Every structure is written in C-alpha cells, then in structure tokens.
C-alpha cells in the first residue's frame, strides 16, 4: 500500500510540475504550433520536389495533426483542458528531440541535417527551463538512438558518425546553457526590482492604514453618541445650527462603512505582501475551507445595500483546498468588481456562487447573469490589457490579477459564456485531509 501511495504522490508531483511549467510556456504554445505547421509543409514541399512530384505524399502527417490540435487549444472543451500541460510537453518531446533526431540519423551524411539538429537543440532551450531542457534532450536522444538502431539496418555506430553527433550535442548544450543562464539572470533581476517596489509600497501603505483603522473604530463607537447628544441639545436650544436629517443618518452609518472600506484595503495589501504574483516571497498555504473563504470575501467587500442583495450563495458541500485566505479573498474581490460592472452596464442580473468537488479537484463557480460575453472578449479576458471598451481598461485589469492570484495558489481559472450569463470556473487542489 505504501508503494502505491508513493507512486500516486510521485504522479501528483509530476502533474503539478507539468502544470506549473506549462503556465510559464503558455505564450509560446500558439507560435510553436504555427511554426510546426509551417515547417511541416515546407519539408513536404522540398521532399516532393526532390522526387519531381512523381508521387505526391505527405511524410509524418502526425506532425500536422499534433500542431493543429495545439493551435486550437483555446477551443478545447473545459473538461479536457486539464490535459493541456501533458499534451504540450508530449508535443515538444516528440517533435523536437525525438523526431528531429530520427530524421538526422536517417540523413547521417547531410550537413544540412546536422545544422537542423543543432538548431533544434537551441530552439528547445528557448522553450524550456534548463532542468526540463536537459531531461528532454538527453531522454529524446537516447530513445531516438534505440528506436533507430532497432528499425534500421544501416547502423550509426561508425566513428565518424559518433564524433559528429557528440560534437553537435556538446556544442548545442554549451550554447543552450549560456542562453538559459543569460535569460534567467535577466528575469531574476527584473523580478527582484519588481519585488522591491511592491514590498516597499505595501509596507508603507500598511502603517498608516493601521493608524486609520484605530481612529475609525473610535469614530464607529462614539459618533452615534455624538449624534444622539446633538439631537438632545437641539431640543433644548433652538438657536443651534440645524443639520439635515439625511446627513445625520449618513454620519451615523459612516463608522460601519469606513470599517468595511478599510478591511477591503487591508485585504488587498495583505495579498500584495503575500506576493501572489511573486514567486520569491514565501506564502503560507494551509487547509482552507472554501465556503468560509467565500463568506469572508463577501463580508469584506464594500458592497452597497443594493449590491449585496445581488449575491446568491447556492448550497454546496464542505470542501477544503490548499490555499491562502488573503489571496483567495483578493481573487473574489476582483471577480465581484468585474461582475458588478457588467450588472450595472446591463441593468440586470445577479451573482451566483457554488462549489463542487469532482475528479480530485475543488471547482468554484462564479456566475454572473447580466449578459453573455462575446467570443473575442472570452479569448482575451485574462490579458493584462483587456478591455471591451475604453472605460473597461481598469476593470479588465482586475481579471488579470485574479488569474495571477489563482495561479499563485497552484490553481486554474477559466471563463465560459452561455446565452445570457458568463461563469468563472476556479479549480484548486484539495487539501490532503479531504
């Protein structure tokens, strides 16, 4: 049983590793698919040209199929999107270190194929981090040699071939390591500078906010007494300057409203300090009750009286995930901001929230029934520069922050649209004790 548990744990770690690395490579998937399709047709054009187009055939049609499916990744059904990390790395592994090396071995005496093999190794270095790169390159070359030796009679074991191959391998690894090292140094320098600015801003805002909170709590406690005293004084002395009744009522509620606003601001700052978009900051992830976290998000968001009545919590099972409450609340506050904007724009709609547990994951559904989202908006809804209108630029940025926060909690967020609503689907890891 322990061996089975260890195997399942190892598989889970491998899945999390692939998911994290695929998120880092997400912007490269479409260009990679387009490049693969282009090279595939060019290769077959040259191949048929060399044969004078006597019998036109398409070599390795699986390349076109793999690249075309990857090109349509944004249109995959939601239930299949969890396979994208595995599919991405399977495509990269098969098309580059395996297939390219197979073609290189089949054309041992070709100087062109030697250069193409070198180019493959360098391109692979630009797609992957250094650890995955070395694993994929070495494993792909070994498997290619074994497969080639098994299926072909012309052996590659000659001294000239071995020297040529190992020379290519040594040069490609050496150059790739330098490329990766330079890229990592530049990325770390940029991240460090961003971290420093974020940390300074967050901590500088935290101190005055705590001072304001102490003052607001005092206002909340004593302002109603002062208003009551004013009414009593006004009854005894008509010469006092009168204050309108609506303004007195607003003063009485001011303490509660300021506390809600301060709690909201404090939660945003806590999320910044937690570093949801900053991998160098240690964040404490614990077993988090999803229902309680959702309630905390609602309590701390500065809803108006009309807005809070638009939020409907559906009955859901008790689900616990691995997460951080400050980050989770930040996610929901950004989703509330976007949904309320859409409701105000459409002058209709409500927000429905429910939780499900299936396929070993926790799925949180956030539905807004204001209106459907157009297809072009769905494609770019989590982009940092997304806006369906000029005035939506600031609202759209909150969805980018939500996606960054979800990914910081090792989760996944997607958005689907129906006829008159849109749903944000948040997927998280279940806690170990669930």
Rounded Cα–Cα distance for residues 105 and 157 (Å): 11
Q: Which of 111, 99, 105 is nearest to 149 (CA)?
A: 105
Question: Tens digit of pLDDT for each residue in 49-94?
Answer: 776 666 666 788 899 999 999 999 888 887 787 788 889 999 999 9
Q: Which of 293, 420, 286, 301 is nearest to 364 (CA)?
A: 293
Question: Tens digit of pLDDT for each residue in 283-307?
Answer: 678 899 999 999 988 987 878 888 9
pTM, rounded to two decimals: 0.49
Predicted confidence at residue 124, as pLDDT, reads 82
Other CB atoms within 10 Å distance of the CB of residue 371: 18
pLDDT under 70: residue ranges of the chain: 1-10, 12, 51-57, 109, 153-211, 213-214, 238, 260-261, 263-264, 266-283, 384-397, 433-434
Tokens standing for 105?
């071995």
Half-sphere exposure of 360 (CA within 13 A, CB side): 5
Predicted confidence at residue 45, as pLDDT, reads 83
- Alpha carbon 46 to its chain centroid, in Å, reads 40
Predicted confidence at residue 394, as pLDDT, reads 46
- Of the options 3.30.565.10, 3.40.50.300, 3.20.20.70, 3.60.60.10, the CATH number for the domain spanning 286-429: 3.30.565.10
Question: Tens digit of pLDDT for each residue in 118-162?
Answer: 778 778 877 887 778 778 888 888 898 888 877 776 555 555 555
Predicted confidence at residue 390, as pLDDT, reads 41
Tokens standing for 50?
């060399």
- DSSP helix/strand/coil, 269: helix
């Amino acid at each position: 049983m322990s061996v089975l548990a260890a195997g399942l744990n190892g598989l889970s770690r491998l899945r999390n590793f692939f998911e994290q690395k695929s998120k880092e490579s997400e912007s490269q998937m479409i260009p990679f698919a387009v490049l693969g399709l282009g090279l595939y047709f060019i290769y077959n054009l040259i191949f048929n040209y060399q044969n004078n187009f006597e019998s036109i055939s398409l070599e390795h049609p699986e390349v076109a199929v793999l690249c075309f499916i990857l090109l349509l990744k944004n249109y995959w059904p939601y239930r299949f999107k969890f396979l994208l990390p595995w599919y991405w790395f399977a495509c990269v592994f098969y098309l580059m270190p395996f297939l390219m090396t197979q073609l290189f071995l089949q054309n041992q005496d070709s100087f062109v194929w030697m250069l193409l093999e070198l180019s493959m190794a360098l391109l692979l270095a630009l797609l992957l981090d250094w650890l995955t790169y070395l694993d994929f390159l070495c494993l792909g070359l070994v498997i290619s040699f074994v497969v080639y030796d098994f299926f072909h009679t012309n052996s590659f074991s000659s001294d000239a071939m071995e020297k040529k191959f190992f020379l290519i391998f040594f040069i490609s690894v050496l150059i790739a390591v330098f490329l990766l090292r330079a890229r990592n140094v530049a990325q770390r320098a940029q991240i460090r500078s961003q971290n420093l600015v974020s940390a300074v801003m967050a901590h500088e805002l935290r101190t005055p906010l705590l001072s304001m909170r102490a003052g607001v709590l005092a206002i909340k406690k004593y302002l109603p007494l002062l208003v009551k005293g004013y009414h009593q004084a006004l009854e005894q002395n008509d010469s006092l300057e009168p204050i309108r009744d609506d303004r007195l009522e607003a003063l009485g509620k001011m303490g509660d409203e300021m506390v809600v606003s301060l709690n909201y601001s404090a939660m945003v700052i806590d999320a910044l300090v937690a570093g949801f978009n900053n991998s160098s900051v240690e964040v404490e992830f614990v077993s988090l009750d999803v229902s309680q976290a959702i309630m905390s998000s609602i309590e701390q968001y500065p809803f108006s009286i009309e807005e809070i009545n638009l939020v409907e919590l559906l009955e859901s099972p008790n689900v616990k995930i691995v997460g951080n409450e400050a980050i989770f609340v930040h996610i929901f506050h950004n989703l509330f901001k976007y949904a309320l904007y859409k409701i105000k724009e459409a002058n209709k709609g409500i927000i429905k929230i429910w939780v499900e547990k299936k396929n070993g994951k926790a799925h949180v559904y956030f539905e807004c029934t204001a209106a459907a989202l157009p297809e072009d908006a769905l494609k770019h809804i989590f982009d940092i520069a997304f806006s369906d209108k000029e005035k939506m630029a600031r609202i759209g940025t909150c969805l980018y922050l939500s996606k960054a926060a979800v990914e910081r909690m090792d989760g996944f967020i997607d958005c689907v649209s129906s006829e008159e609503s849109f749903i944000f689907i948040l997927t998280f890891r279940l806690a170990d004790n669930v």
